């Protein structure tokens, strides 16, 4: 074979190899990016957005902490929380209030707006305690003490999850309590006790834990208590569906769970 032809073929082979190198590199790079990409709606792929989250009043303190942590980990995302009793949140959703996610203090409230939400996931649990004025001057030691007509006891209203759970455990123990007031959410119950306007009230453990220098907490035995679940879900009318789904997913992540459990909430 002539040397000239041999040299041309060799040069062509070198050129072909040189062209294939960047193509192979591009293919590897794309493959790595595809395999590392997080699925839509996961906490790791959260797009930037301004989110509005409707949340149960008993989540006030912990969600402020969680929101700040989430915003720090996801620059460009801002979260505005609207806290209220779960029954009020449900009413807002049914009335079409603009929001992106909903977190209630019971599954029944969430179920009542099933057609308006994505699939809910329980992110935490809680339990009731008896909150008393600091120092427990009335020496309240158990549920039956709340039946004392001399005590000023406040409860959450019957339509509020905390109120439903309170009445449930009182009825189970055949204890009759005549509250001096029934509040629109559990934080209002705590406030009444903090201000000394009531001797005692039934609140969630995490509520009492949030004010250790203002109230004392009397433990209610498990056999006499009720466990409440907190489901979280995106709202179907959200204009930030992916960002909302990412935040809801983050609440069940190790980071989100640590914040919830550090605040006294139980594992879901």
pLDDT per residue as tens, the chain (268 positions): 444 434 444 444 433 444 333 333 333 333 333 333 333 444 555 678 899 999 999 999 999 999 999 999 999 999 999 999 999 999 999 999 999 999 999 999 999 999 999 999 999 999 999 999 999 999 999 999 999 999 999 999 999 999 999 999 999 999 999 999 999 999 999 999 999 999 999 999 999 999 999 999 999 999 999 999 999 999 999 999 999 999 999 999 999 999 999 999 999 9
Neighbours of 258 (CB within 10 A): 12
Q: What is the CATH number of the domain that holds 254?
A: 3.40.190.10
In a domain, 5, yes or no: no
Predicted structure pTM score:
0.80
- Tell me the pLDDT tens digit for each residue of 90-100: 999 999 999 99
Claim to verify: residue 82 and residue 210 sit in the same structural domain: no
Q: What is the CA 210 to chain-centroid distance, rounded?
A: 16
Q: Indicate if 137 and 223 belong to the same structural domain.
A: yes
Q: Answer yes or no: are the C-beta atoms of 59 and 103 closer than 8 Å.
A: yes
Query: Which domain, by its residues, includes 99?
Result: 43-125+229-262
Measured in degrees and rounded to the nearest 5, phi and psi for residue 40 equal -60, 140
């Amino acid at each position: 074979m002539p040397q000239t032809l041999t040299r041309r073929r060799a040069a062509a082979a070198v050129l072909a190899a040189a062209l294939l190198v960047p193509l192979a590199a591009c293919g590897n790079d794309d493959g790595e990016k595809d395999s590392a990409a997080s699925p839509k709606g996961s906490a790791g792929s959260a797009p930037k957005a301004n989110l509005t989250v409707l949340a149960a009043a008993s989540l006030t303190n912990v969600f402020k902490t969680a929101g700040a942590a989430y915003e720090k980990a996801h620059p460009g995302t801002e979260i505005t929380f609207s806290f209220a009793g779960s029954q009020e949140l449900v009413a807002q959703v049914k009335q079409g209030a603009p929001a992106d996610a909903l977190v209630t203090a019971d599954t029944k409230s969430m179920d009542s707006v099933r057609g308006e939400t994505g699939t809910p996931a329980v992110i935490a649990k809680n339990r009731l305690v008896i909150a008393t004025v600091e120092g427990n001057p009335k020496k309240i030691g158990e549920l039956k003490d709340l039946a004392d007509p001399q005590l000023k006891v406040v409860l959450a209203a019957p339509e509020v999850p905390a109120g439903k759970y309170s009445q449930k455990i009182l009825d189970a123990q055949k204890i009759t309590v005549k509250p001096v007031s029934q509040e629109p959410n559990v934080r209002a119950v705590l406030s009444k006790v903090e201000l000394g306007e009531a001797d005692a009230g039934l609140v969630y453990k995490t509520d009492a834990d949030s004010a250790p220098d203002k109230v004392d907490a009397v433990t209610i035995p498990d056999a006499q208590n009720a466990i409440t679940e907190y489901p979280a879900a995106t709202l179907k009318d959200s204009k930030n569906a992916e960002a909302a789904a990412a935040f809801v997913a983050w609440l069940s992540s190790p980071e989100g769970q640590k914040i919830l459990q550090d605040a006294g909430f139980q594992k879901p």
